[in-house]
Amino acid sequence: MKKTLIALAALAATASFAQVSVYGRLDAGYAMTTNTVNGVDTKANGVQSHNSVSSMWGLKGSEDLGGGMKANFVLEQDVYTANGEVGQSGAKGGATGVAMFDRTSLIGLSGGFGSVSFGRDYVPTFKLVGATDVNSLSRLSTIQNTGANSTVPSLVFYSTPDFGGFKLNIAYGNQDSTVSGTAGDTSTKTTNVTAVYANGPLMVGVGTGSQEVKAAGAGNGTVTFGNVTLAGLTKVTGNVLGASYDFGKFALKGNMVSTKGETAAADLKFDELNIGATVPFGKVTLIAQLGTNKVSGTGLVEDMTGSDVVIGVDYALSAKTALFAKTGTYGKMSGAGNDLKSTSTAIGIKTSF
């Protein structure tokens, strides 16, 4: 792994593929966290990452092919700064993921037609949720529901040119490994689309996505909302509506996210509403966010509902580095015999490069 990273760093410094750059952001600090499940508290105290932003690094480059066309690539990997592990820092709390470039691995072309690329990336609906979260989809955020998918491998991505601030983003994949003579197909089909309008201080977007996972014709997907799991899914769908507006003295971001898992005989649905504000005062930026949660579905005797709150403050040491302090309760839901929540307070430092 060390040799690989050194080789990649050397590539960024000397590559003939024009305009290659290294970029990223790092976050770490001391956190006191308690996860509560039906009256049982589990502590997770100590130095943690993903408190204020998700830590990662990447390489990106482009080559001018002439005629307004460029070849582009992006390689991006999670880094869990607290322990140095790489891969799936947010989802697995620092445990190493399978893919080295677990966030993004893309190559493609861009020009007057827009852009098309192949590989792995975050689907458009996930990007829309992230763009409308004042807490940057970090661990300490009221947003616990990001739609049907996050980062997905083996897809085709297309974005239209910018038409006066309007852009359409599409992701599609159909990985088929069916064996002849079996009862049905074995495949993973992903479809994801957003329409986004961004002009000056306003951004508004809407999106929908789905994923169908089959093994020998049978549903093979799984979702877990709160502590309720539904397996054998034939389809997972997600819908997102998000918006932001910068008023100058403060900015607002918010979204509505709905995810639904379906089997032949049951369904499970997770709905969220989140709104947040950032208020800058010189080097200090105040952050506040509120959210509501609802899980419903077949087999639940009643809905699980709850509300979240996260507040924080950043103090800028430079244009790229800041101290942060955050506290909040998130993932809170009660009902159907369950009582869930996580509370956390963290102080630390973050930087970007």
pLDDT tens across 273-289, in order?
Answer: 999 999 999 999 999 99
Whether residue 148 is contained in a domain is answered as yes
Whether residue 112 is contained in a domain is answered as yes
pLDDT of residue 227: 78
DSSP letters spanning 230-288? EEEESEEEEEEEEEEEE-SS-EEEEEEEEEEEE-SS-EEEEEEEEEEEEEEETTEEEEE
- Virtual CA dihedral for 255, 325, 322, 257, nearest 10 degrees? -10
CATH at residue 342: 2.40.160.10
Whether residue 330 is contained in a domain is answered as yes
pLDDT digits over 303-341, tens only?
999 999 999 999 999 999 999 999 999 999 999 889 999
Whether residue 201 is contained in a domain is answered as yes
Q: Distance between CA atoms of 85 and 89, rounded to whole angstroms?
A: 8
Whether residue 310 is contained in a domain is answered as yes
pLDDT of residue 113: 97
Whether residue 7 is contained in a domain is answered as no
Tracing tokens 């008023």 back to the chain, one arrives at 247
Whether residue 16 is contained in a domain is answered as no
Which are the contacts of 329, defined by CB distance < 8 A and separation ≥ 6? Answer: 308, 309, 310, 341, 342, 343
Per-10-residue mean pLDDT of the chain, 353 residues long, equals: 54 60 96 96 95 94 96 94 74 56 95 97 97 95 90 95 98 89 86 98 98 86 82 92 98 97 90 98 98 92 95 98 98 93 97 97
pLDDT of residue 7: 54
Classify residue 180 as exposed, middle or buried by CB count within 10 Å of its CB (0-12, 13-18, 19+).
exposed
How many domains does one find in the chain?
1
**Residue 293 and residue 284 in contact, taking contact as beta carbons nearer than 8 Å:** no
pTM of the model: 0.91
What sign results for the dihedral spanned by CA atoms 226, 76, 86, 138?
Answer: negative
Whether residue 6 is contained in a domain is answered as no
Reduce the DSSP state of residue 179 to 3 states and report it: coil
Domain that holds residue 282: 22-352
pLDDT of residue 230: 84
pLDDT of residue 252: 98
